[in-house]
Structure 1
Amino acid sequence: MADTEQTYKFDVKMTCGGCSGAVTRALQKAQANGPGISSYDVNLDKQEVVVNGSIPYDDVLAVIKKTGKEVRSGGVVPKEVVP
């Protein structure tokens, strides 16, 4: 199987528990609707969303943007290289 696990980190403007809850619910729904997202963490204090899975970056970005929250930045977290 060619799908490899990736970690994506997003800087998302979330000002309250309702904001982080909306993002959490969107990711929860995406995870339940099919393979791709293995885990996620929504951190209101850091205004950060971390997603692990084999889902393409653009698909995760679209899920978060559907909530109406501003995604200020995002990208793939490089895997640690173990010598």
Structure 2
Amino acid sequence: MTKHEFEVAMTCEGCSGAVTRILNKLGDEVKFEIDLPKRLVWIESEKDVDFLTDTLKKCGKEVKYNGTK
């Protein structure tokens, strides 16, 4: 699976919790890590980047795709 890095404008545990809830809805199709202090989210998935970006935007935060890692 490809590992993608996103910057998400998270400022608190509530923000990272919202991201976690949204990504958990995708089930086993994704694996993810969140680094709140750096405001980064890494997602391992075969889904396309546009789908993952749109999914992250559902938490109401600004999202920027940084590329694959």
Provide TM-score, normalisation by structure 2: 0.89
Matched, 1:40 2:32: yes
The count of residues paired between Structure 1 and Structure 2 equals: 69
- Considering fraction of residues, name the structure with more strand: 2
In structure 1, runs of 5+ residues without a counterpart are: 79-83
Give matches, 1:1-83, under 5 Å. Answer: 5-30=1-26, 32=27, 36-37=29-30, 39-71=31-63, 73-78=64-69
Identity of aligned residues (%): 36
Runs (4+) of structure 1 exceeding 3 A deviation are none
Provide TM-score, normalisation by structure 1: 0.75
Task: Return the offset for 1:53.
Answer: 1.3
* Residues 7 and 66 in structure 2, CA contact (< 8 A), matched pair in contact too: no
Question: CA deviation digits over 1:50-80, x for unaligned, max 9?
Answer: 0001111111101100110111x214315xx
Answer 1 or 2: higher relative contact order, Cα 8 Å, separation at least 6.
2
Q: What is the aligned-residue RMSD (CA, Å)? A: 1.4
Structure showing greater radius of gyration is 1
